Amino acid sequence: MYLAQAFAAQRRGEALSPWQVERRALRPHDVLIEIDFCGVCHSDLHQARGEWGRQLFPMVPGHEIVGRVLRAGTAVSRRRVGERVGVGCYVDSCRRCESCLQGLEPYCAQGMTATYNSLERDGLTPSYGGYATAIVVDEAFTLAIPEALPPDAAAPLLCAGITMYSPLRHWKAGPGMHVAVLGLGGLGHIGVKIARALGAEVSVLSHSAHKEQDALRLGAHAFHCASDFAAQTHLRGAFDLILHTVSSRVDLDALAGLLRRDGTLVMLGISPEPQGLRAFSLISQRRSLAGSTLGGIAQIQEMLDFCAQHGISCDIERIRMQDINEAFERLQRGDVRYRFVIDMASLRA
């Protein structure tokens, strides 16, 4: 057993406050990771505030974790003590179903074990995330963080990065494909960098005019600002692929109208409220509406190596753990360029 210092929401919507988490005694394949940095994803805010269905409290959010292996279980073979490692949005899966055997653990038929706000495979033990000084994880669900990546700016790759990389690869983004990223936040900004590095033509669709310079600096070829994309008639039929990363409701009919024939709108953002789409918006040009989440462990490693190769990491603002509630407020207001990353040294001091 290892006692980690943490920050938790004790009840739905409550401010996060100091707490202690008991990490399990090491099983043969477990590693104890001392956490250096943890990114602040909008999903942390959604869940701590109880905006999605099932939630477990007390909740220690955090699923963009980078740290070092402090101890290793007796049978650990892929990781060594002192190695820099990452943990993303899930820490286990059934490991037997078709998806798991195909390396698509987030789509596990039994449901993945999320890094927090989830139950371990025993169906009883709650999982607690990375807003903490340490975590225990099976080595099979850890990632090697390439030396070339700065550890703080690499942390958000473990959720935001893979959430963008996976659909870009699935829908074969590359030269000749016109990709639009809707929403320039944590997911969006890294999506622009990755899509550009894959060779796609990249546009940003945003409701914040002041982000234009940033969008172009991040690698977008074009920036379109609007609160009403239905009125943007010059963009109708412009894109092959739209990656939706907005955390609240948007007009899906207007968005679908921006797709060319056979184009795909991929839902990544998770608005707390349900939203509708008229059949005409799809059938008129044989368009598709899709969703996507994360990527398998092997693909996360591939994405990290791709980012290291292309010099891609996240634009971050480092914060202290004690400032997390203010950071949530700023994230809600869209006042972050483009990811908060908690420096866990602040919890050890």
Would you tell me which residues interact with ligand NAP (CB under 6 A)? 41-43, 46, 159-160, 163, 183-187, 206-208, 211, 245-248, 250, 268-270, 293-294, 331, 334
Nearer to Zn ion, 106 or 263 (CB): 106
The least distance separating Zn ion from the CB of residue 275, rounded to whole angstroms, comes to 20
Nearer to Zn ion, 94 or 254 (CB): 94
Tokens in use for 172? 């074969």
Nearer to ligand NAP, 92 or 139 (CB): 92
Nearer to ligand NAP, 62 or 139 (CB): 62
The least distance separating Zn ion from the CB of residue 314, rounded to whole angstroms, comes to 12
Q: Which does 241 bind (CB under 5 to 8 A by kind): Zn ion, ligand NAP, none?
A: none
Buried b (16+ CB within 10 A) or exposed e, 280-304: ebbeeeebebeebbbbbbebbbbbb
Tokens in use for 281? 């918006």
Nearer to ligand NAP, 67 or 185 (CB): 185
For helices 160-170 and 297-310, angle between their N-to-C axes, nearest 10 degrees: 100
The least distance separating ligand NAP from the CB of residue 338, rounded to whole angstroms, comes to 7
Max Cα distance, the chain (Å): 62
Nearer to ligand NAP, 48 or 282 (CB): 48
- Asked if residues 207 and 227 have their Cβ atoms less than 8 Å apart, the reply is yes
Q: Which does 93 bind (CB under 5 to 8 A by kind): Zn ion, ligand NAP, none?
A: Zn ion
Task: Match 């739209």 to its residue by tokens.
Answer: 242
- Asked if residues 329 and 16 have their Cβ atoms less than 8 Å apart, the reply is no
CA 330 to each of CA 11, 40, 45, 281, 339: distance values in angstroms, whole numbers, following the listed order: 21, 11, 11, 34, 11
Respond yes or no on whether the N-terminal peptide bond of residue 61 is cis (omega within 30° of 0).
no
Q: Which does 294 bind (CB under 5 to 8 A by kind): Zn ion, ligand NAP, none?
A: ligand NAP
Nearer to ligand NAP, 208 or 285 (CB): 208
The least distance separating ligand NAP from the CB of residue 189, rounded to whole angstroms, comes to 8
Nearer to Zn ion, 203 or 247 (CB): 247
The least distance separating Zn ion from the CB of residue 330, rounded to whole angstroms, comes to 17
Size of the site for Zn ion (CB under 5 A): 8
The least distance separating Zn ion from the CB of residue 317, rounded to whole angstroms, comes to 17
The least distance separating ligand NAP from the CB of residue 157, rounded to whole angstroms, comes to 12
The sign one gets for the Cα dihedral 157, 15, 12, 7 is positive
CA 34 to each of CA 40, 131, 192, 207, 257: distance values in angstroms, whole numbers, following the listed order: 18, 12, 31, 39, 47
The least distance separating ligand NAP from the CB of residue 134, rounded to whole angstroms, comes to 23
Distance between the two ends of the chain, CA-based, in angstroms?
22
Task: Match 């753990």 to its residue by tokens.
Answer: 321
**Among the listed residues 108, 164, 205, 259, the single contact to Zn ion using CB under 5 A:** 108
Tokens in use for 231? 């009125």
Residue 13 CB coordination number (10 Å) = 10
Respond yes or no on whether the N-terminal peptide bond of residue 58 is cis (omega within 30° of 0).
yes
Looking at residue 131, its amino acid is: Y
226 forms part of the interface with Zn ion (CB under 5 A): no
φ, ψ for residue 316, nearest 5 deg: -130, 160
**Among the listed residues 56, 70, 94, 225, the single contact to Zn ion using CB under 5 A:** 94
159 forms part of the interface with Zn ion (CB under 5 A): yes
Nearer to ligand NAP, 9 or 268 (CB): 268
**Among the listed residues 8, 43, 239, 246, the single contact to Zn ion using CB under 5 A:** 43
Nearest Cα neighbor of 189 from 300, 52, 317 is 317
Q: Which does 108 bind (CB under 5 to 8 A by kind): Zn ion, ligand NAP, none?
A: Zn ion
41 forms part of the interface with Zn ion (CB under 5 A): yes
Catalog residues that contact Zn ion under the rule CB under 5 A: 41, 43, 93-94, 97, 100, 108, 159
